[in-house]
């Protein structure tokens, strides 16, 4: 076994595990809940067998010819029916109260409709003098049974498919929980690794409750335990951001321990949880944003917010920037605004490392964003610090230079150096024309 690399895995850099706070969602049952469900199911089987069989046993006890099999067969049938009900309950662990109540409401509505139609058919049968035991009356009873089952099915189907609009017909009846106030934000893994949400929450402008699903925390922990150093750093940074959000008094943060059965990945579980709870997703993932738009889930992208908050620079505006490097052209200098926008300044290559005043002349839209071009504003350069730093060196250099005026040949040197250049040179020189050696 290889020895652990202490330098790559210091225990002091591991962020504390986030505190789990309960959030209202479709979370799975806890151990205590499972134990309570087991007791309820056993009690159901006992009551079903005993209470259902007591009247039946009392009736068949008075009958002649009752044997042991007469008692065993009803007991086994009743027990099998109860076990089937329990298995059906176990097979559907994530039941939604809205769906269950919708089915119950539909069955009740279907039975009420069936009762009214049955009374009407009985009146028709009495008016036609149809006596019980006749073929016509048997068809009427069959018709009542078929209509009752059909009405229950239609009522359940209508309630489940139109439960969101049923409140318009029946006031004060709701089948889905309506969120009051600001809808919470489900925080994606990319937002926690990005880290800008910490500064955003500290401003107090993020008033929506932040919900971090447990499977997102688990993914961050998996990254933090990875052997890849880059993934390990990303996971630890994400866990640290969760801890900072929980310690921020201006942020309402909770950990949702919901379990999404059949979730393929974190993005899929986020989309399902957001759709079920009618909440929004906070992310920086472009692909997740597009998939959520297709599925009709509301998504807030921090990158869109950052792009909207960028300062708008227009041609003719004067800005002060620092020239940090050389541009593509020989005389261009490149600087950046505080938001990262690149500005190419003409004739600024000699001012690298200094702040200059530039006037925006043009803007170009590229795939990475906007690119601005600018010219120096009247040649104003902020080189005060550079001048102060270089003043002693310049003074020493000036003192070391020989002064031209002290030389006895200074008039002749000045005359030779300051000779005017000819502007009307002939196109072709003659052979007798000689070049001035001093030039």
Q: What is the pLDDT of residues 82-118, one digit of tens each?
A: 888 888 888 877 666 667 777 888 888 888 988 999 8
Write down the pLDDT at residue 301.
92
> Token pair for residue 366?
């590229």
Q: Confirm if 350 and 338 have CB atoms less than 8 A apart.
A: no
Q: Confirm if 23 and 259 have CB atoms less than 8 A apart.
A: no
Residue 91 three-state SS: helix
Identify the weakest region by mean pLDDT among 266-275, 365-374, 407-416: 407-416
pLDDT at 396 over 50: no
pLDDT at 345 over 50: yes
Q: Confirm if 216 and 303 have CB atoms less than 8 A apart.
A: no
Angle between helices 31-61 and 68-91 (to 10 degrees): 160
CA distance 133 to 125: 12
Q: Confirm if 439 and 419 have CB atoms less than 8 A apart.
A: yes
Ranges assigned E (strand) in 113-252: 185-187, 210-213
84, with CB counted inside 10 A (0-12, 13-18, 19+), is exposed
C-alpha separations of 68 from 45, 57, 389 in Å: 22, 11, 113
Maximum CA extent, the chain: 154
Could you please report the per-residue DSSP string of 248-304?
-TT--EEEE----TT--SHHHHHHHHHHHHT-EEEE--HHHHHHHHHHT--EEEHHH
C-alpha separations of 111 from 118, 158, 166 in Å: 10, 15, 19
Pairing of strands 355-366, 369-382: antiparallel
pLDDT band with cut points at 50, 70 and 90 for residue 189? very high
> Token pair for residue 11?
């225990």
Q: What is the pLDDT of residues 153-185, one digit of tens each?
A: 888 888 777 765 555 444 444 544 555 567 889
Instruction: For residue 232, give the H/E element and its range.
Output: helix 229-247
Identify the weakest region by mean pLDDT among 5-19, 111-125, 344-358, 387-401: 387-401
Identify the weakest region by mean pLDDT among 16-20, 50-54, 192-196, 344-348: 16-20
- Give me the domains of the chain, ranges plus CATH numbers: 43-61+69-169 (no CATH), 185-308 (3.40.50.1010), 318-387 (2.40.50)
Q: Which of 161, 207, 186 is nearest to 276 (CA)?
A: 186
Which residue has 């043009």 as its token pair? 362
CA distance 156 to 32: 33
pLDDT band with cut points at 50, 70 and 90 for residue 299? very high
Q: Which of 210, 225, 267, 230 is nearest to 17 (CA)?
A: 225
Which residue has 């993005």 as its token pair? 267
Reduced DSSP (H G I as helix, E B as strand, rest coil) percent helix, strand, coil of the chain, to 5? 50, 15, 35
Can you say whether residue 217 is alpha, beta or left, with left for phi > 0 and alpha for psi between -120 and 50 degrees?
alpha
CA distance 293 to 305: 17
Across the range 376-399, mean pLDDT stands at 48
Residue 164 three-state SS: coil
Q: Confirm if 203 and 296 have CB atoms less than 8 A apart.
A: no
Phi, psi dihedrals of residue 79, rounded to the nearest 5°: -65, -40
């Amino acid at each position: 076994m290889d020895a652990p690399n202490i330098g790559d895995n210091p225990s002091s850099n591991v962020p504390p595990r986030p505190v789990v706070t309960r959030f209202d969602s479709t979370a799975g049952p806890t151990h205590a809940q499972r134990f309570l469900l087991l007791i309820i199911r056993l009690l159901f089987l006992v009551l079903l067998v005993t209470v259902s069989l007591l009247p039946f046993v009392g009736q068949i006890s008075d009958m002649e010819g009752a044997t042991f099999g007469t008692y065993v067969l009803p007991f086994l049938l009743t027990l099998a029916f109860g076990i089937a009900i329990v298995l059906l309950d176990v097979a559907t662990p994530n039941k939604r109260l809205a769906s269950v109540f919708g089915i119950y409401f539909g069955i009740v509505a279907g039975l009420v409709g069936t009762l009214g139609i049955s009374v009407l058919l009985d009146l028709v049968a009495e008016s036609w003098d149809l006596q019980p035991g006749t073929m016509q009356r048997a068809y009427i009873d069959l018709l009542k049974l078929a209509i009752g089952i059909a009405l229950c099915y239609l009522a359940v189907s209508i309630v489940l498919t139109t439960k969101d609009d049923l409140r318009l017909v029946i006031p004060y009846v709701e089948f889905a929980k309506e969120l009051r106030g600001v809808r919470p934000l489900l925080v994606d893994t990319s937002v926690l690794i990005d880290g800008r949400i910490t500064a955003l929450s500290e401003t107090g402008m993020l008033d929506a409750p932040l919900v971090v699903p447990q499977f997102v925390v688990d993914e961050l922990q998996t990254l933090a335990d990875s052997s890849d150093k880059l993934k390990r750093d990303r996971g630890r940074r994400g866990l640290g951001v969760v801890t900072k959000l929980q310690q921020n008094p201006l942020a309402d943060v909770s950990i949702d321990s919901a379990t999404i059965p059949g979730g393929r990945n974190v993005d899929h579980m986020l989309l399902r949880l957001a759709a079920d709870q009618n909440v929004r997703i906070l992310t920086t993932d472009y692909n997740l944003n597009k998939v959520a738009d297709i599925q009709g889930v509301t998504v807030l992208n921090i990158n869109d917010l950052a792009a909207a908050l960028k300062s708008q620079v227009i041609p003719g505006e004067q800005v002060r920037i620092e020239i940090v490097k050389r541009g593509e052209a020989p005389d261009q200098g490149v600087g950046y605004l505080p938001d990262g926008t690149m500005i190419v300044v003409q004739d600024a290559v000699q001012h690298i490392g200094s702040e200059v005043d530039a006037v925006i002349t043009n803007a170009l839209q590229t795939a990475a964003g906007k690119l601005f071009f600018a010219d120096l504003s009247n040649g104003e350069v902020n080189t005060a610090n550079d001048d102060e730093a270089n003043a002693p060196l310049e003074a020493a250099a000036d003192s070391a230079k020989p002064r031209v005026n002290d030389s006895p040949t200074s008039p002749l040197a000045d005359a030779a150096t300051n000779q005017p250049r000819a502007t009307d040179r002939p196109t072709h020189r003659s052979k007798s024309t000689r070049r001035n050696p001093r030039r």
